[in-house]
Homo-oligomer: A and B are copies of this chain.
Amino acid sequence: MNVRRPATLASLAAELGVSRTTVSNAYNRPDQLSPELRKRVLDTARRLGYPGPDPVARSLRTRKAGAVGLLLTENLSYAFRDPAAVGFLEGLALACEDAGSGLLLIPANPEREDVASVHRAGVDGFVVYSVPDDDPHLAAVLERPVPAVVCDQPSIENLDRVGIDDSRAIKTMAEHLIGLGHRKIGVLCMRLARARNDGPASVQRQENASFHVQKKRLTALAEAFEAIGIDWEQVPVVERFDHTIASGESAAGQLLESNPEITAIMCTSDILALGALNETRNRGRRVPEDLSITGFDGITEAERVGLTTVRQPMLEKGRAAGRLLLDAGEPGRPREVRLDTQLVTGSTAASPRSVEERWFGP
């Protein structure tokens, strides 16, 4: 009984001497036949080892898969390593649960072009979370005749979308640092394009970035700093492909090595900031006395160590995305959910000390 499918709805019907409709009804519309008959059907089913209507055949017929597909930037497994992504997943799962829908995680390796997994996915719609604008998987999703909602990406055609005001959010942080007196800063950012680059990101590369969110944040930072007369060309931006604490460490190392004069490091994620924090302290520099460090996301780990960061509601993001997808809106009238963020004033950003203080103590 555990490896083949001996019985089908048809064979059951034959065995019982009733029509297939009746058997189908026994499962799907109990009120459409007498309790006795229904019991007889179900009993015979058990006896024959009939496992109930085949879900795939049913889906084909009803045109409902009962599942939502999730397409992510990262390997599935990485997603579980990033607390922000986990928060998003939790929210999305919540929405799916409410709707009784399954959640299909699609195995999309960002470094490969293989979109078969998208074609193969039997789902009623897709949530696309922060993939690059030119990702072939995204293109494959768009070709599928099912709805999709994008999150942390530019809006597309007439798709629903959820996100935050990345520009506003990071500008608030920039202004916070500027207010504290920082003028020499360095930036650590996540992957800007599908092609791997671990190192400085030129302004040109920043402008060509295909990861919407990262690009948005960098652009906003440029604006914020140019507004006070700082030449963005001179601001060092270091990029990392992998989004890990170790990446943050090495990136911070690289930054501090090449730009020892900076008084603050702004990171586009908490994970990177956590790494930067480690590296800075390992080099014997104190935070925030010698160097200020800021993050982005507001993950638990970051808030625990008192990171100065921007908190965004990841769980709500996931939930909103799921809801949008599941309670279909009116076609042709795409909806947009924009969530709020807030500055978290932790203990990793302070006024830069003057040069004298640096050398001679306060």
**A residues near B, CB below 8 A?**
1-5, 51-60, 65-67, 69, 75-77, 79-81, 86-87, 89-91, 93-94, 96-97, 100-107, 109, 114, 116-117, 119-122, 142-145, 147, 157-159, 331
Please determine whether B331 and A65 come into contact, CB atoms closer than 8 angstroms. Answer: no
CB distance from A306 to the nearest CB of B (A): 15
Residues of B within 8 A of A117 (CB): 66, 100, 102
Please determine whether A51 and B3 come into contact, CB atoms closer than 8 angstroms. Answer: no
Please determine whether A103 and B105 come into contact, CB atoms closer than 8 angstroms. Answer: yes
Known: A51-B144, A55-B121, A56-B122. Is A107-B96 also a contact (CB below 8 A)?
A: yes
Q: Could you tell me the distance between the alpha carbons of A158 and B79 in the complex, rounded to whole angstroms?
A: 33
| Chain B residue at smallest Cβ distance from A86 | B80
Contact among B5, B69, B90, B331 with A3 in the assembled complex (CB-CB below 8 Å): B331
Known: A80-B86, A94-B76, A121-B102. Is A145-B5 also a contact (CB below 8 A)?
A: yes
> In this complex, which of A52, A79, A142 has the most chain B Cβ atoms within 10 angstroms of its Cβ?
A52
> In this complex, which of A76, A80, A120, A144 has the most chain B Cβ atoms within 10 angstroms of its Cβ?
A80
Contact among B3, B69, B97, B120 with A107 in the assembled complex (CB-CB below 8 Å): B97
CB distance from A179 to the nearest CB of B (A): 33
Known: A55-B120, A66-B117. Is A77-B97 also a contact (CB below 8 A)?
A: yes
Q: Could you tell me the distance between the alpha carbons of A278 and B172 in the complex, rounded to whole angstroms?
A: 35
Residues of B within 8 A of A145 (CB): 1-5, 51
CB distance from A253 to the nearest CB of B (A): 23
Residues of B within 8 A of A104 (CB): 67, 102-105
Q: Could you tell me the distance between the alpha carbons of A106 and B77 in the complex, rounded to whole angstroms?
A: 18
Residues of B within 8 A of A114 (CB): 100
Q: Could you tell me the distance between the alpha carbons of A213 and B158 in the complex, rounded to whole angstroms?
A: 49
> In this complex, which of A2, A89, A94 has the most chain B Cβ atoms within 10 angstroms of its Cβ?
A2
Residues of B within 8 A of A59 (CB): 56, 122
Please determine whether B103 and A77 come into contact, CB atoms closer than 8 angstroms. Answer: no
Q: Could you tell me the distance between the alpha carbons of A148 and B125 in the complex, rounded to whole angstroms?
A: 27
Known: A102-B104, A106-B102, A331-B3. Is A76-B51 also a contact (CB below 8 A)?
A: no
Please determine whether B122 and A55 come into contact, CB atoms closer than 8 angstroms. Answer: yes
Residues of B within 8 A of A105 (CB): 93, 96, 102-105
Q: Could you tell me the distance between the alpha carbons of A100 and B117 in the complex, rounded to whole angstroms?
A: 7
Residues of B within 8 A of A56 (CB): 56, 59-60, 65, 122
Please determine whether A76 and B100 come into contact, CB atoms closer than 8 angstroms. Answer: no
Residues of B within 8 A of A97 (CB): 75-77, 107, 109
CB distance from A120 to the nearest CB of B (A): 4
Q: Could you tell me the distance between the alpha carbons of A77 and B97 in the complex, rounded to whole angstroms?
A: 8
Residues of B within 8 A of A60 (CB): 54, 56-57, 60
